[in-house]
Chains A and B, each alone.
Chain A
Amino acid sequence: MAPPHFNPQMFGTELTYTLIVVFLFLFVYFKTKEMYDLTKHRGIHLFRNAFLFFGLSYATRFVFQLVQLGALALDYRIPGMLLFPLVFPITVYLSTMAIFYLAYSMVWEKISHQYFLIASNIIAVGIAVAAYLTNSPMIIALVQLPLLIFTLVKSTKGRKKKKSHMKGLYFLVSLFWLVNLFVLTPRWFVPFEIKVLLQLASAAVFIFLAYKVLKWTG
């Protein structure tokens, strides 16, 4: 198999995708600021944090890719090797916390905030350390997947609130993160067209979410 090489088209697509996704998540974060300022509602606070952390995760994921792509394009292996172990665990920590915040935003009335902060940070740091040691997005995605399923299933148990389709949307948002981590890294061989299709599908989900937020925040 030919060695991986720098692909400007792939780089452009990744950059555009990251800009769109980070914009959408920051849009959700800032659009809900007034609502939070007025109410200081903990659920809104956690919801905002989840999307801030997802936005930061996508941003650092791009830096992580930049390091990889830069290493391929310019052959600057030494800085790449130095940056890689730093950026990847940060991405993993931020994304794990984002998943926790999203799940906790639905059950915050039942679980103590302090307990949540301690437990989620311990787990997120643990997975970040695993990321540092393994340097493998695939392994981390496989660790985050059961965590995602467990937290979302747990958070939906025994809820009395009116049913909506949001749990499904939250699941998709988190799942697309894992797909991005697992598949959309340059090392992983997936045809370019499939990557673009996945990016389009996830962007559509994020746009729908931003639209839902806009509907209530105006």
Chain B
Amino acid sequence: MDRINRKRDRLEVIHDILKIIRDRNNSIKPTPLLRYSNLSSSSFNEYYQELVSKELVREEQDKKGRKFITLTDKGFKFLEKYKYILGFIEEFEL
């Protein structure tokens, strides 16, 4: 309930976006990613640019020129370490 009602914090949104990509075989088009992420278009674009600049995701194109978003190694690492990152932030009150 708490998870549904409260506003997600920045790290949680990033985690959710990365998880969506990973759970779709590490390949998803931008439009479904926007839909599944439950963000407004402008927020999504902001987060998306942040993810690209931090090299957590990258854009790829198939032979037909269609854009796909995939996780980088750093993106996988983020997902792997997410629980520990949250624990650390909470324990040290950061």
Contact = CB atoms under 8 A, between A and B. Distances in A.
A41 B94 contact: yes
B36 to A, nearest CB: 22
A12 B56 CA distance: 48
A161 B77 contact: no
Contacts of A212: 91-92
A216 B31 CA distance: 35
A216 B78 contact: no
B12 to A, nearest CB: 11
Interface string B78-94: 10010011011111111
B90 A43 contact: no
Given A35-B81, A38-B74, A38-B78, A164 B11 contact: no
A166 B84 CA distance: 17
A180 interface: no
Q: On chain B, which size bracket covers the interface? A: 10 to 19
B92 A47 contact: yes
Contact of B93 (A38, A40, A164): A164
Contacts of A105: 92-94
A108 B10 CA distance: 14
A157 interface: no
Contacts of A213: 88
Contact of A39 (B78, B90, B92): B78
Interface in A156-191: 159, 161-162, 164, 166-167
Given A43-B89, A217-B88, A38 B81 contact: yes
Nearest to B84: A216
B77 to A, nearest CB: 6
B94 A43 contact: yes
A166 B56 CA distance: 31
Contact of B77 (A38, A164, A216, A218): A38
B93 A159 contact: yes
Interface in A18-69: 32, 34-35, 38-41, 43-44, 46-47
B85 A218 contact: no
Contacts of A217: 84, 88
Interface string B50-91: 000010100000000000000000100110010011011111
Nearest to A38: B78
A161 B74 contact: no
A27 B56 CA distance: 26
Contacts of A167: 93
A46 B92 CA distance: 11
Closest 10 A-B residue pairs measured CB to CB?
A43-B94, A216-B88, A38-B78, A216-B84, A166-B93, A106-B93, A216-B87, A105-B94, A166-B92, A35-B85
5 contacts: A38-B78, A40-B54, A47-B94, A159-B93, A166-B93
